[in-house]
Amino acid sequence: MSSTCSQLPPARTLDWFKDFAGVELENEYAHLRSISFTDRPALAEIAFDADIWRYFVQRIDTDVDLDRFIEQAVEDTAANRRVVFAVLDKATGALAGSMAYGNLAEADRRLEIGWSWLGRAYRGKGLNRWAKFLLLQHAFEKLDCERVEFKTDVLNLQARKGLQNIGATEEGVLRSFNYMPDGRRRDAIYYSILRLEWPIVRSGLLKEVKLTRAASEMVGAGQ
């Protein structure tokens, strides 16, 4: 335990909201930047897919829904309620989806990563994990978070498996957490990664996403 903790610098005083201003996160495979109104045409190409929104509290089924999504994302980011990112696939330069920081608790060094979705063509290629890696890396190594949390619908087995695969720990279920668009009461299940766990999670993620990308490239090349 002591050797793990020694790999992390001590928490420092900073202003999260100054750090969030115009932040862009990027690696060889993914590029995350603040979402904007100019992204609407690209979002419209991928967002109208009912499968994406099956477990979301708010759906994008119509042009009005999409406009509301973008307006809320821009407003939330400007007001420091959330930081909503557009996710771009570096291989193509195309806008692939969106993810966000939310439930920002700077005093407690805690935030949530969520509101995550990718268009159908960008799933299963490692992009989700590379984007999550960037968000986790920034949270722990730049914002000095002590805890990063995630939540999803208890029925969303794919998302739950994905969170376990990136190294998040399942914590528990908050029963009858909120209403879904079809009137169902959703049970929300929470996961988290702690600061002292990040070095091990980081190592595992780097290994896994490289393998996923390599396999995807072999398939794309017909191998």
**Residue 222 included in any domain:** no
Domain count along the chain: 1
> What is the β-pairing status of strands 147-153 and 169-179?
unpaired
11, part of any domain: no
Neighbours of 174 (CB within 10 A): 14
Q: Kindly state whether residue 73 falls inside one of the protein's structural domains.
A: yes
Q: What stretch of H or E contains 121?
A: none
Residue 8 within any structural domain of the chain: no
pLDDT at 143 over 90: yes
CATH number at residue 97: 3.40.630.30
**Per-residue pLDDT for 129 more than 60?**
yes
Q: Give the whole-angstrom CA distance, residue 46 versus residue 6.
A: 43
Of the candidates 156, 153, 148, 59, the one whose C-alpha atom is nearest the C-alpha of residue 109 is 148
CB atoms within 10 A of CB 186: 20
78-82, 146-150, 189-193, 204-208: lowest mean pLDDT where?
204-208
Q: Are 85 and 65 in contact (CB under 8 A)?
A: no
Task: Answer yes or no: is 71 within a domain.
Answer: yes
Across the chain, mean pLDDT equals 90
- Please check whether residue 125 lies inside any domain of the structure: yes
**pLDDT digits over 176-211, tens only?**
999 999 999 999 999 999 999 999 999 999 887 665
* 112 found inside a domain: yes
Segments forming the whole domain that contains residue 167 = 16-217
157 has pLDDT over 60: yes
The answer to whether the CB of 48 falls within 8 A of the CB of 67 is no
Residue 97 lies in a domain: yes
Categorize the per-residue pLDDT at 8 as very low, low, confident or very high, splitting at 50, 70 and 90.
low
More confident residue, 19 or 62: 62
